[in-house]
Amino acid sequence: MRQKALRAAAVAAVLCAPLAACPGRGKQEQAATASPSAALAGARLNVLLVTVDTLRADHLGLYGYRRATSPHLEALARRATVFDQAYTYWPKTRGSFVAILTGRLASQTGYSKGRQELLDWNPTLASVLKQAGYRTEATVDNPNVAAALGYARGFDRYRQTWLEPSLPTEVDRMRAITADGVRALQQAKAGQPLFLWLHYVNPHAPYQPPPPFDSAFLDAEAAKGPVLRAVNGFHGGAHAPWAKAGRPLGWYVAQYDGEIATVDAEIGRLVAALDASPVRDRTLLIVTSDHGESLGEHDYYFDHGEDLFDPCLRIPLLIAGPGVKAGRSDVLASTLDLVPTALDAVKVSYPPELAGLSLLPATRGEDRPRRPRLPGQNDRNLLGAWDRRYKIVATPEGDGARYALYDRERDPAETRDASRQEPERLRDERRELELLRDRVDAQMAKTMRLLQGLPEPQKLDAPSCERLKALGYVLPAGCS
Ligand SMILES: [Zn+2]
């Protein structure tokens, strides 16, 4: 028993364990019994969540990038807390948004290879805020977060732009997202709090920015790098449907950067609308991404999710609003933290068993939350954990796993497994990861019971499947 207790304590140190040693445990218990009228006593702040698909932090000026891809985000950063150590928990759209919207690990939500959806037993940010009296709206442009897959849970209005024939291009859909945001902010009323989620897909491949951003970054760098051949898939060259004969890697990266600048301009319009709105001082604004992108690192081109390297994991995170201190924070921040952060800010009770922590103290200039490392998983059953320096990744092999250790201070590109050079570090990190694995397995055993007896996943409609194919999903789940 003592051994078990010790292990439990160690797991809590890996990341905040459900119902144990978590700040906000009282809140969770309250949530189980709180009546809707009690929940209405929140701070009534609006919540505006803006997510940009496939956005690498290190391709933004505010994270030190050499190109001017993000002037509007830089302007926002001057009044926001910018998180320098923000990571996704799951570097693929569906799994990432389940974590973003629930604040729970996949082993809790039931997200898995066979069920790549947001299952309806999970409270979401939208469902909790709706119960607290919020109007909840979303406009999204990625069939991976289709209502048919559960992502509309808790929203009064859920607009899926790709289903509208009057919005045939990505630019049309992007403008519709911004227009919805502007209108919602203009119409916002002090007595009716609003949760609005806007999701732009633009930086996702294929990279096809509109003018002037298609040529904005065709500088000397854009002519560099190997000329990429057309391939099927994402290794050894550019995915054939998107490949342009004779173009070097640098050209593709310049197009990716053009997509970022395109959506940055839209965020500029949204922030201007917020500033001109009656709720300027009553709105918490969160800007982030679901995951990054591999731009040729590790021979992985213009996709994300297969590995747990930093290009796919590291994301931007900016939080602005009442009480937020302008500045940088280097606390470890995860997409799992967005639910507790938003609910902490608006003073609405947490749903039970959150895996993340509130980042609100960091937005007040404090060096909290403090935790030693963050977890990551992907659709290939890789499991990883990292601190500011070391990362360990377990890859399934036979009945067990192969472990790799990366020293990101000495080896920022994560190209050398440091296991042999640092056996003690490997042992320590591996022990922590195995504890996390035990916890995930135990949760999954419980979750499996909930999964049994669920109806088959819904099939996606034909327009959604077509759109997924255009985004590079060869065999999208739910389209077979
Ligand atoms: Zn995505």
CATH assignment of the domain containing 139 = 3.40.720.10
**H-assigned helices in 196-323:** 249-275, 310-313
Burial of 248 (0-12, 13-18, 19+ CB in 10 A): middle
Residue 398 lies in a domain: no
Ligand 1 centroid–CA 1 distance in Å is 42
- Average pLDDT rounded to a whole number, residues 392-417: 96
- Average pLDDT rounded to a whole number, residues 276-294: 97
What average pLDDT is seen over the chain?
Answer: 90
- pLDDT tens-digit profile of 112-169? 988 999 999 999 999 999 999 999 999 999 999 999 999 999 999 999 999 999 999 9
Q: Find, among 310, 307, 386, 334, the residue nearest to 105 by Cα.
A: 334
Residue 9 lies in a domain: no
Ligand 1 centroid–CA 200 distance in Å is 10
Residue 385 lies in a domain: no
Residues 192 and 135: their CA atoms lie apart, in Å, by 7
Residue 368 lies in a domain: yes
Is the pLDDT at 474 greater than 70? The verdict is no
3-state secondary structure of 424: helix
pTM: 0.91
- Average pLDDT rounded to a whole number, residues 383-402: 96
Residue 16 lies in a domain: no
Ligand 1 centroid–CA 202 distance in Å is 10
Residue 397 lies in a domain: no
Q: Find, among 303, 139, 326, 313, the residue nearest to 235 by Cα.
A: 303
- In what helix (H) or strand (E) does residue 46 lie, and over which residues does it extend? strand 46-52
More confident site: 465 or 330: 330
Ligand 1 centroid–CA 419 distance in Å is 31
Ligand 1 centroid–CA 290 distance in Å is 5
Q: Which residues pair with 329 in a beta bridge?
A: 83
- pLDDT tens-digit profile of 80-117? 999 999 999 999 999 999 999 999 999 999 999 889 99
Ligand 1 centroid–CA 20 distance in Å is 31
- Average pLDDT rounded to a whole number, residues 423-436: 96
Q: Phi then psi for 292, rounded to 5 degrees?
A: -95, -145
Helix, strand, coil distribution of the chain in percent, nearest 5: 40, 20, 45
- pLDDT tens-digit profile of 176-205? 999 999 999 999 988 899 999 999 999 999
Domain count, the chain: 1
* Residue position matching structure tokens 């290794």: 235
Ligand 1 centroid–CA 367 distance in Å is 30
Is the pLDDT at 18 greater than 50? The verdict is no
Ligand 1 centroid–CA 305 distance in Å is 9
Q: In the chain, what is the straight-line distance between the N-terminal and C-terminal CA atoms, in Å? A: 48
Report CA dihedral (44, 104, 89, 462) to the nearest 10 degrees. Answer: -90
Residue 28 lies in a domain: yes
Ligand 1 centroid–CA 323 distance in Å is 30
User: Which domain does 31 fall in, by range?
Assistant: 22-372+454-470
Nearby residues for ligand 1 (ion, Cβ within 5 Å): 53, 93, 290
pLDDT at residue 229, as a whole number: 97
With bands split at pLDDT 50, 70 and 90, how would you rate the model's confidence at 28? Answer: very low
